[in-house]
């Protein structure tokens, strides 16, 4: 149940990450992770990309405000070709530590990771690395960590 | 529809943020924002808190893996009382710029913000500030930006 009547309508709609270059990022989030690009909003100096996993609800630019699990990618124009742009901090190293990661649940972590491997995705932690054998961390094109863990699939 | 058969099971399960002190953070995310604390996992050197907006689905420690919109807060023990701890980068200033924000949809932005104001929440941007009158940004105890925007409420 919602905790309070005043917050009963609240939803955790989206998470926003800045990206250097939309080409590799959109490839990563759509072709590799399987998200759908729901809306692209172009402004003078930046472009926003809204993505989510569409599980048959056919999310649109309007209905994306009615659900959770949206990813917003912000591209500040020019970073993709600026030799002085140093890249964005992933949040997992100093300085800038703070933001941790986004996480995907999947039905089969090993199978998902084999596919990521075959697609040339970089790993921060393979399922076989370290103690936690049931999870993995892959890296998106900007170096943000994407956790891969098993979801809950009631029989 | 899912983009590929191989990724059809994937869900954007959670976003993780590091927090300095769980007391003000849990107060903020539960009492002020209205999230439910679904699970607390204590380890030797850190504790994880998993929260979400419960819209009547009575999320549990098990079923939290089956949905989107989970927020994971990581507390590395000791930061709350360490005078040398400088706090985490919110991602929205140099150095560390990269992570942007998390966002909540609400049915009434002005009403939600009046309540936040009365609860002493700090604002990065009130609805009346700047050009974008329909959105606000509040700050969580670590300084992470939380966007407040109107959701999609079909009649």
- How far apart, in Å, do the first and last CA atoms of chain A sit? 24
Same domain, B105 and B142: yes
pLDDT of residue B145: 95
Question: Within 10 Å of residue A20's Cβ, how many Cβ atoms?
Answer: 22
Same domain, A24 and A74: yes
Q: What is the pLDDT of residues B88-141, one digit of tens each?
A: 988 988 766 789 999 999 999 999 999 999 999 999 999 999 888 889 999 999
Rounded-to-integer distance, Cα B100 and Cα A128, Å: 31
CA distance A123 to chain B (A): 18
pLDDT of residue A96: 63
A155 pLDDT above the threshold of 60: no
Rounded-to-integer distance, Cα B35 and Cα A89, Å: 28
Rounded-to-integer distance, Cα A12 and Cα B39, Å: 17
Tell me whether residue B40 is in a domain.
yes
Tell me whether residue B131 is in a domain.
yes
Q: Please check whether residue A149 is in contact with residue A134, taking contact to mean a CB–CB distance below 8 angstroms.
A: yes
Decide: pTM greater than 0.90. Answer: yes
- CB–CB contact A91 B99 (8 Å): yes
In whole numbers, what is the pLDDT of chain A averaged over residues? 92
Structural domain of residue B41, as residue ranges? 14-81
Residue B102 sits at the vertex; the CA angle it makes with B98 and B104, to the nearest 5 degrees, is: 160
Rounded-to-integer distance, Cα A98 and Cα B20, Å: 9
Q: Is B80 a catalytic residue?
A: no
Report residue B68: phi and psi, to 5°. -100, 175
B150 pLDDT above the threshold of 80: yes
Is the ipTM of this structure higher than 0.85? yes
Rounded-to-integer distance, Cα A122 and Cα B17, Å: 22
User: How many independent structural domains does chain A possess?
Assistant: 2
Rounded-to-integer distance, Cα A67 and Cα A47, Å: 22
Domain containing residue B50: CATH number: 3.10.180.10
Rounded-to-integer distance, Cα A20 and Cα B60, Å: 37
Active-site residue, selected from the candidate residues A39, A80, A117, A147 = A147
Is pLDDT larger for residue A5 or for residue A154? A5
Same domain, B75 and B23: yes
B residues 50-79 lying closer than 8 A (beta carbon) to A? 52-56, 58, 62-72, 74
């Amino acid at each position: 149940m919602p905790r309070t009547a005043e917050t009963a309508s609240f939803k955790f709609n989206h998470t926003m990450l800045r990206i250097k270059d939309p080409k590799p990022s959109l490839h990563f989030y759509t072709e590799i992770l399987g998200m759908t690009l729901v809306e692209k909003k172009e402004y003078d100096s930046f472009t926003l990309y809204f993505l989510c996993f569409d599980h048959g609800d056919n999310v649109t630019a309007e209905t994306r405000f009615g659900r959770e699990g949206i990813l917003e990618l912000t591209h500040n124009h020019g970073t993709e070709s600026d030799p002085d742009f140093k890249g964005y901090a992933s949040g997992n190293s100093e300085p800038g530590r703070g933001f941790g990661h986004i996480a995907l649940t999947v039905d089969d972590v090993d199978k998902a990771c084999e596919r990521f491997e075959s697609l040339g995705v970089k790993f921060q932690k393979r399922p076989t690395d370290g103690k936690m054998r049931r999870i993995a961390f892959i890296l998106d094109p900007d170096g943000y960590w994407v956790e891969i863990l098993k979801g809950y699939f009631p029989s």
